Structure 1
């Protein structure tokens, strides 16, 4: 049985979306993966662009609220921002809770190049954390 992983951030627009795509890409079909936000907005166009450059499409992704996921069981609930962690100190159905404090790339002001670098850095940070976490996690059958 696949282990289930839910990534949470504030708007489900960048960090949690990238984490969902990256885990699918790195781990293949070993996990059932989803992402949600305490508020839903839209998937940030820069997140879509950065992930496309890494060979992962977010084109069909949409921003989702937590509501549909609250009644489900999750092996891991991973918050990827401080606001998401504060808004969900306890998550019903979450067996293991992890928090990764990652800066919000969409909050970076400046040129397009500066904003792009922030999103690229976020993707690199998420990928690094995922690889460390996967190396330490029990093997999934």
Structure 2
């Protein structure tokens, strides 16, 4: 039995945002949190996701695209959706103590230069705040 809070990050394809969030939470505070990610319609991890994480020195070990169905029956302390579409599909999500809806632009479909690094930075800032708030006990 672990004292860590379990966190599931969800987006549609489980290709970028939820992968970034999973890796960043592990990197930021693996002492208090156990991070997972899944997609409502997974399609494979985008190579640029891996490159953005490696550029920041964050481990990408074990990252792979997973379906939300693989977590059926598992309970999470937090389920965090990373896009409006997955937030709308929340009914299909595993049970959670708390559901949070964060909305980040999908870097896969973005035309902006540096979209992956920008999304990585935005998610990292949100995760640092999440860790700060949730570990103040």
Show CA shifts across 1:74-113 (max 9, x none).
Answer: 0000001111111114634211000101000000237xxx
Whole-angstrom distance in 2 between the partners of 1:90 and 1:60: 24
The CA deviation at 1:44 is: 0.3
Whole-angstrom distance in 1 between the partners of 2:29 and 2:8: 14
| TM-score, normalisation: structure 2 | 0.91
Whole-angstrom distance in 1 between the partners of 2:26 and 2:62: 14
The CA deviation at 1:59 is: 5.4
Whole-angstrom distance in 1 between the partners of 2:88 and 2:7: 19
2:66 aligns with 64
Paired residues, what number? 135
Whole-angstrom distance in 2 between the partners of 1:109 and 1:9: 19
Unaligned runs of 5+ in 2: none
Q: What is the root-mean-square deviation in Å for CA atoms of aligned residues? A: 1.6
Q: Secondary structure at the match of 2:70?
A: helix
Q: Secondary structure at the match of 1:49?
A: helix
Q: Secondary structure at the match of 2:100?
A: strand
1:130 aligns with 127
Unaligned runs of 5+ in 1: none
Whole-angstrom distance in 2 between the partners of 1:99 and 1:89: 13
| TM-score, normalisation: structure 1 | 0.89
1:98 aligns with 100
